[in-house]
């Protein structure tokens, strides 16, 4: 199925100034406010950043989205041409919005295939190309017990080739505040999952993860209340904890806010580019006119 493309001259993004974070781990390269009306949908969630600065996201409305990031003098200045299209099932039919199309997490395997994690109907689909059919992929055991809107929000490939998967609201074995997580090893056509636990910050839930070149990972976390709105953090998991048997617990690298605007942060991605490790964040606007789709770019200091 051909992808839809928005012309690069369309006003798809406007600059968003960023101040220096309160911690020294990340250096801001700029932000953008994305005009989702140009392509007719928001809800961006899982995120992937390629070394050539191609950004790929999936939407909880059952769609994929892709655009190159434009940098000038090491600052994020805009997007190149945007392409997008529907996610498909194994028969090549477009996934309907709602229970079938609630895509929340995205990872790219070393061979180039894509993994997309879904909520409501908890599952993982494997895509050779995001515009093609999606085939079933081994799901972490016990994930089907997650709440409908609290499933596989975080899925990434680590530097050693293993998969890291974290459920948003499924309690783990390390206590009621922990979340069930899994480390997966691919063996031929099957994946062997080992259960562990992830410890988010107080009252926070994991919404995405991204592997780091040194073997560690970043985990994005979020909280929402009617009184305080959206808060969250970006946590760093060192490589050694991902190699051990203890519950996974990370150090805060960003407080969201004040290190970035208060929004529904749902996507994080990492890539090496120009000798630096870059970190991208995206927010999900929930198709709500009072929210925004924000894109931020940082370099690891």
Closest to 282 (Cα-Cα) out of 24, 101, 48, 118: 48
The whole-number pLDDT of residue 175 equals: 94
- Give the integer Cα–Cα distance in Å for 2 and 130: 11
Terminal-to-terminal C-alpha distance of the chain: 41
Average confidence (pLDDT) over 196-211? 97
- Give the integer Cα–Cα distance in Å for 69 and 30: 11
Taking 50 as the threshold, does the pLDDT of residue 1 lie above it? no
- Give the integer Cα–Cα distance in Å for 236 and 182: 17
What is the b/e burial string over 187-214, where b = at least 16 CB atoms within 10 angstroms of the residue's CB? eeeebebeebbbbbbeebbbbbbbbbee
Q: How is the chain split into domains, by residue range?
A: 26-300
The whole-number pLDDT of residue 2 equals: 47
pLDDT band at 10 (very low <50, low <70, confident <90, very high): low
pLDDT digit string (tens) for 185-203? Answer: 999 889 999 999 999 999 9
Average confidence (pLDDT) over 73-94? 96
The whole-number pLDDT of residue 8 equals: 45
Provide, rounded to the nearest whole percent, the portion of the chain with pLDDT above 70.
97
What number does CATH give the domain 26-300?
2.115.10.20
The whole-number pLDDT of residue 11 equals: 79
């Amino acid at each position: 199925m051909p992808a839809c493309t928005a012309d690069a001259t369309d006003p798809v993004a406007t600059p968003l100034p960023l101040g220096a974070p309160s911690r020294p781990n990340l250096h801001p390269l700029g932000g953008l406010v994305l005009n989702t009306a140009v392509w007719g949908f928001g809800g961006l969630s899982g995120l992937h950043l390629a070394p050539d600065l191609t950004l790929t996201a999936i939407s909880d409305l059952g769609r994929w989205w892709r655009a190159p990031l434009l940098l000038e003098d090491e600052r994020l200045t805009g997007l190149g041409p945007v392409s997008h299209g529907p996610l498909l099932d194994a028969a090549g039919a477009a996934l309907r919005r709602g229970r079938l199309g609630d895509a929340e997490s995205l990872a790219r395997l070393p061979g180039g295939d894509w993994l997309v994690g879904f909520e409501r109907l908890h599952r993982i689909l494997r895509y050779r190309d995001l515009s093609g059919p999606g085939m079933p992929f081994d799901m972490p055991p016990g994930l089907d017990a997650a709440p409908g809107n609290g499933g596989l929000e975080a899925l990434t490939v680590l530097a050693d080739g293993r998969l890291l998967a974290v459920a948003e609201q499924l309690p783990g074995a390390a206590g009621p505040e922990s979340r069930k997580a899994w480390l997966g090893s691919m063996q031929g056509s099957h994946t062997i999952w080992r259960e562990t636990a992830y410890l988010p910050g107080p009252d926070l839930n994991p919404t995405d993860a991204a592997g780091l070149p040194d073997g560690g990972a970043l985990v994005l976390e979020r909280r929402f209340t009617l009184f305080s709105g959206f808060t969250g953090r970006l946590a760093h998991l060192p490589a050694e904890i991902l190699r051990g048997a203890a519950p996974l617990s990370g150090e805060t690298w960003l407080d969201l806010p004040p290190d970035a605007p208060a929004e529904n942060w749902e996507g994080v991605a990492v890539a090496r580019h120009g000798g630096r490790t870059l970190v991208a964040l995206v927010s999900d606007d929930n198709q709500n006119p009072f929210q925004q789709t924000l894109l931020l770019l940082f370099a690891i200091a």
